[in-house]
Amino acid sequence: MSKILITGGAGFVGYHLAKRLADQEHEIVLVDNFSRNGRDADLLTLLQRPNTKLIEGDLTDPASYEKFGTGYDYVYHLAGINGFRQFMDMPHEVLRVGAATALNILDWFRTKNNPPAGGQGAKILFTSSNEVFTGAHEAFGALPVPTPENVPLVIADPYNPRWSYAGSKIISELLFIHYAKVYNLRMVIVRLHNLYGPGAGYDAMIPKFIGRTHNRLDPFPMFGPDDLRASCYIADAVEAMQTAIESSATDGQTYHIGDSREATIKTILETMFEIMQWHPKEFDIKPSPNGPPTGGSTRDILDVSKIKTDIGWEAKTSLEQGLRKTIEWYLAHPAQS
């Protein structure tokens, strides 16, 4: 069994990753500062396991790393500030936290984390985002679709706080790439895309759809019904992350993690209505808020052929299967007013 550190371990992705690894009986240490979320029931249940431990700390402070100890086989760096409201309201903090934590954990990893003897040495994974190149749509009006890993990383307008998150991820990707080259570190970068599932917060698209359907909102608002989305269920995503960090074939590489199967917004909603056994009588149809200036439908899909070729991973959970599990969780955990 491996000793594993997960920063941002109390978040949506961190929790699901930690639960998967804990189920496999690895020794898990989670780090979080709970700046956005408290200790919910799911996390508290996970922390009751003897192989799972929590450290509360500020990863922007280099002194906090003294609590971690050493000997980790794998380190997953998930910590950061996410959410559109945060990008707009505190872009300076989004950038500071993103850059500082990436720099600090790389310095700690290369100087302090002495892994157990044998094997190929410790490895660190950084979770980036499709946001790093999304600005190309605004700046140039085009990107290849599906979008591969090797497109330019673009900040469309440095004065627009909306791009603070993208900026923090671009800086961090550069740090991981060049630290790994200079110090001969084992690392992999993964860009997560359109993840959904239990515990993903209440502001994302699918949780909002669930809430509106549960509340029988009629007419039902539908923005950009013909827009195409490829949504990846969280269990598939954390499987990809584990497979990527454990494979030597991924050392020094960047991979997209997402689902290649597309569905329109209308199809996602119709599937949800069928599962929840209710259908509105009317729709309030409006253009997509993220659509192109000339109108028409939009596509939002990554090329995930590289990760399938290199390590054989691809998303398996169907939209209906993922929505059923997600709906079940949200109905049991309604948003607090």
- CATH code assigned at 22: 3.40.50.720
**pLDDT at position 296, please?**
38
**pLDDT at position 34, please?**
84
Q: Is the pTM for the entire model greater than 0.85?
A: yes
b/e sequence 67-104, b meaning 16+ C-beta within 10 Å: ebeeebbbbbbbbbbbeeebbeeebeebbebbbbbbbb
Specify if 210 maps to a domain: no
Task: Report the distance separating Cα 219 and Cα 282, nearest Å.
Answer: 5
Among the listed residues 201, 156, 194, 164, the one whose alpha carbon sits nearest the alpha carbon of residue 89: 164
**pLDDT at position 294, please?**
33
Task: Report the distance separating Cα 222 and Cα 282, nearest Å.
Answer: 10
Specify if 48 maps to a domain: yes
- Residues of the chain below pLDDT 70: 36-38, 117-119, 289-298, 337
Alpha carbon 106 to chain centroid distance?
Answer: 20
Strand bridging mode 74-77 / 123-129: parallel
Specify if 54 maps to a domain: yes
**pLDDT at position 292, please?**
42
How many separate domains does the chain show?
1
Specify if 87 maps to a domain: yes
Specify if 61 maps to a domain: yes
Domain hosting 39: range is 3-192
**pLDDT at position 135, please?**
86
Specify if 63 maps to a domain: yes
**pLDDT at position 118, please?**
62
Task: Report the distance separating Cα 7 and Cα 29, nearest Å.
Answer: 9
Specify if 252 maps to a domain: no
**pLDDT at position 161, please?**
95
Positions of E strands within 165-275: 186-192, 195-196, 220-223, 228-229, 232-233, 253-257, 263-264
Task: Report the distance separating Cα 182 and Cα 255, nearest Å.
Answer: 21
Specify if 211 maps to a domain: no
Task: Report the distance separating Cα 336 and Cα 216, nearest Å.
Answer: 18
Q: How far is CA 18 from CA 21, 45, 53, 54, in A?
A: 5, 12, 10, 11
Task: Report the distance separating Cα 84 and Cα 91, nearest Å.
Answer: 10
